[in-house]
Chain A
């Protein structure tokens, strides 16, 4: 009897502690101060504030100034022209489900797609007409990782959704390539809104795929290119090159000469790089946004702390 009382009291106390902790965490998340109303006006560096998960903004010229924090909570964020995209995991969904929010120039939601998986990459095409992303989907692949990726596209004008581009007919060295384990990640579109690049992963290799969106065709250009990002002048691709398991070197590939240049960042970068302009590449590393020259010269410079998922308006 005494034991029963002890057990019940102990259980009640521990349950109360758990509930108190959880509820107070809810309040901490909910109260984030007055939210700033952000727009996509030119000259801003927008990013995900890693402390709160909210989208924040600083002027491109003064990136160390105190950021304005919006009420928008995202895990990945990107902009181009008058369109922005926000990927946010729905709280309390297991297996995880992600909301893909297509936003206008006042960060108001224009459209929502809800897809299975957790956010990995997000981008908007230079013309602002296509939004694309990569999600991790649990358990699609076998063995060690247990993860696979799905890359999809949403056409802002027509409302057409391509949930995954993995059915893209792709040619390797002129031969049509078939594999059950094909995975795509890291899409990037050219300013014409038709040519695009992405990484195809299959049988332990990664390929850079160049695609024609209208004809819906793709061909591989090169091996060991992940998370491509096309420069504004559409001549070069910034990407992460695998050096060893789990270690990537940020590099730039010239599409005309097919020459690779390693950038000055020597630490491993696992991000889809972002071109601030034709000379500078931005990326997130250790909850900080960095900038490095795109020609291999110079040194990485810290742009903003407690920040990830950089996006530049212009």
Chain B
């Protein structure tokens, strides 16, 4: 599905005749496939976990919410650690592989944990740790395996493949539940097998970053020194500032549902709409970023989100969910991989994993904070004022970021 889409977009652009997959390095495609398979594995667990905990184990939803939220913060810190260790040991593939492997083993841990809520908590924490550890080194590998001029395209291809996995995960989980007559351990075990396939693919087909690193030691000081470099510091700051005024996904979906017309049954399907648009646009927008500059595309993504927020506060009409989800998908396609493409060239190769992890962490922490603030504003002022204030803040920060231009194209 993805390959066909990217091919037609290439032909339509008319500039190069080769399919996108061939224009990016084999290593990026291999990493994309690893992410695809891993996402199938992790999304199938994500899809059934609330059901399992609440229905299977009798946890009340509030406890589940606490359990779930607790580990989101931990990931952020571990991410920088993973990036730093990978740079320090110059073993990007090994650290990423450890992260993938740890998450895979955790799926077996879910089977073993049985009905012990404490054990499940530990397993979930370890799973998130694995995810945190692998992200920095993986994105560094993508960025180091690509020509600086086509980074946007490379990250686009990777994120598109990743999203295909996110689509398939819940479907596989449904199939396993139907086949096993509702056995949750079967879902976890299957998820483990699929994650193990991803680790196998990584071990066999992903090459560690070739070429010697030019400096001897990558110390913790050098990593902190990154933030002294003004270009890098400015990107990190602006990405975090924008993160702070970004309204979280769940709120966007909820806004749509409040608008009416969407039955509760279909509510969990809304993220698929965003993912679908993301999937289709990740490569074209990545290529656009390569051509016209990554920062303008990154900011354009935020403008799309701002528009979505304004529209959702306006009058309701039949096509509103389609338009809003479309804009939300554009937001993702124009920001997620594009930010990595923008940051990559600012960081010396021997600190690439650390640098990318720092930017991601800043953004993630800011978004978490924004969710708390938005939730608070919602409770205090009610929905519409909260959304409109958020949209105004987002527009203001995006405008300021456009003038600041922390990244020269």
Contacts and interface: CB of A to CB of B under 8 A. Distances in A.
Nearest to B178: A92
Contact of B178 (A11, A91, A246): A91
Nearest to B173: A94
Contact of B61 (A3, A89, A96, A146): A146
Interface string B43-75: 000011011001100101111111001000000
Contacts of B66: 144, 245-246
Contacts of A141: 254
B177 interface: yes
Contacts of A136: 54, 61
A116 B180 CA distance: 21
A142 B60 CA distance: 16
A119 B55 contact: yes
Given A116-B263, A147-B54, A29 B170 contact: no
Contacts of A6: 200, 204
Most chain B CB within 10 A, of A3, A284, A308, is at A3
Interface residues of A, number: 52
Given A142-B254, A142-B378, A245 B181 contact: no
B121 interface: no
A162 interface: no
Nearest to A95: B268
Contacts of A22: 176, 179-180, 183, 186, 189-190
Interface in A130-165: 136-147, 150
B9 interface: no
Given A3-B204, A3-B205, A143-B375, A92 B196 contact: no
Interface in A198-243: 203-204
A contact patch SS: mixed
Interface stretch (A13-21, A105-113, A256-264): A13-21
B201 A7 contact: yes
Contact of A21 (B60, B174, B190, B196): B190
B197 to A, nearest CB: 5
Contact of A180 (B55, B177, B250, B258): B258
B73 to A, nearest CB: 13
Contacts of A138: 50, 264, 267-268
B385 interface: no
A1 B140 CA distance: 27
B15 interface: no
B268 A139 contact: yes
A287 to B, nearest CB: 8
Nearest to A270: B60
B378 A17 contact: no
A92 B62 contact: no
B253 interface: yes
B347 to A, nearest CB: 31
Interface size class of B (residues with CB under 8 A): 35 or more
Contacts of B50: 138, 146-147
A139 B254 contact: yes
Contacts of B194: 14, 18
A137 B387 CA distance: 24
A96 B265 CA distance: 8
Contacts of A28: 183
Contacts of B265: 95, 97, 116
B175 interface: yes
Interface string B176-220: 111111110110011001101100110011000000000000000
B375 A17 contact: no
A75 B178 CA distance: 17
Contacts of A270: 58, 60
A270 B51 CA distance: 17
A95 B179 contact: no
A93 B54 CA distance: 15
Given A25-B183, A140-B257, A246-B63, A7 B189 contact: no
Given A10-B197, A92-B174, A116 B264 contact: yes
A286 to B, nearest CB: 9
B251 interface: yes
Given A30-B181, A95-B268, A139-B253, A21 B189 contact: yes
Contacts of A245: 62, 66
Interface of A: 3, 6-7, 10-11, 14-15, 17-18, 21-23, 25-26, 28-30, 75, 89, 91-97, 116-119, 136-147, 150, 180, 203-204, 245-246, 270, 284, 287, 308
6 contacts: A14-B194, A25-B181, A28-B183, A136-B61, A137-B267, A203-B379
Given A23-B180, A119-B55, 19 more contacts: A6-B200, A6-B204, A14-B197, A21-B185, A21-B189, A29-B181, A30-B181, A89-B182, A93-B174, A137-B267, A138-B50, A138-B268, A139-B250, A145-B61, A145-B62, A146-B50, A246-B60, A246-B62, A287-B115
